Structure 1
Amino acid sequence: MKAIYILLCTVSLCILWSCRKNNVEIQPIEFGKIDAQFGRDSYWLLNDRFRKVIHTNPYDGKDYGFYIELNNFGNNGFTGYRVFHRLDVNLADIAEGKVYRFDAVSPSTERQPKDKISYEYIETIGDKSIHKFYRPAIGKTNVSLTLERIKGSDYRTPAIEGHLEGYLYNIANARDSVLITLRFLTEASR
């Protein structure tokens, strides 16, 4: 009887042990990073566990999207001054060495679909706030992105490395433009 009891306890412990959740977090192959200039504001930042500046959307094998979101809300030493930047980039058919050129296809004020880029800027000084939305000019291809390298192609979402440069224009005022220069590495995920 004692042997059966020990056997049942051992089997029960083995079953409980095998049903235990595995909470091991698989790290990406490399955290994302940027070296960017948005108009007069410059940044050199790395993603870490607690703060992501470059976000990669899940990759479906055809369309690849990422966005950079930066804000200094409360972190700049000036309590009444805040700046927010968001750059959205959508690419189709990623390949090493490919150069993407962006232009707007319609005068619509909506964000553009695939193979498009948009930039949002918010600046708050005290009670005053400026909110601007930028995209390429219609009929002009003055923004280009060069995809230099794809890392982790065996991952569900690979990391891409490249650079982007060009002018984007305010959709409310065509005379208002911003020069964006950016070196980036997106973050891969399994």
Structure 2
Amino acid sequence: MKYKVGDKVQIKSEEWIYNNVGIPWVLAYLLEYAGKYAKITHVSESDDPKYRIDIDYGEFEWFNLLFEENTIAETPTLQDISKTIREQNLGVSVKEEDGKLIIEPLKVEHDLPVDTPVMVKMPNGEWKLAYYAGELKTQSGEILKSTWVRGYKSEQGFGSIGQTHIIPFDKFDPNNINESLKHNIVKP
């Protein structure tokens, strides 16, 4: 028996199905699921086992030859997970070390990672895109949140300036400034 209940498999591609399945109604049925992933829900015990899968609610019997040979379908790769988290701005920082994914929550209440895109309120009341520079200590000892001067990032070598309104870019809604201000990392 190649697969067991709970295994994830990938159904063969459209091209493979077109070239290898000669029964018209079976061809039409299989094409609906070509290339998709499914979970094995039942296995018949025989020399040539038949499988039931979740994608078709166990309606059809599937055979080994209808599943991709490469492996049991894997869960998404670390790169896929990392990319999704970064693209969706899910409130965490992500890094990969030695094949492991390290996910840590952003510290929005207190601080953000340096170079995080943010929106800042300018003295004239306009909002501008900038990059977070971290905390800045004034000569009087006051700690201010700051962004890089003229919107540059840290590696571009420019100084920083204290701001009174810094909102993470993914939390900023230009159509609802009051809601956006709830995410201001600068304490009033």
Do both share a fold (TM > 0.5)?
Answer: no
The structure richer in helix per residue is 2
TM-score after normalising by structure 1:
0.21
TM-score after normalising by structure 2:
0.22
Higher relative contact order (CA 8 A, sep 6+): 1
The structure richer in strand per residue is 1
Q: State the structure with more CA Rg.
A: 2
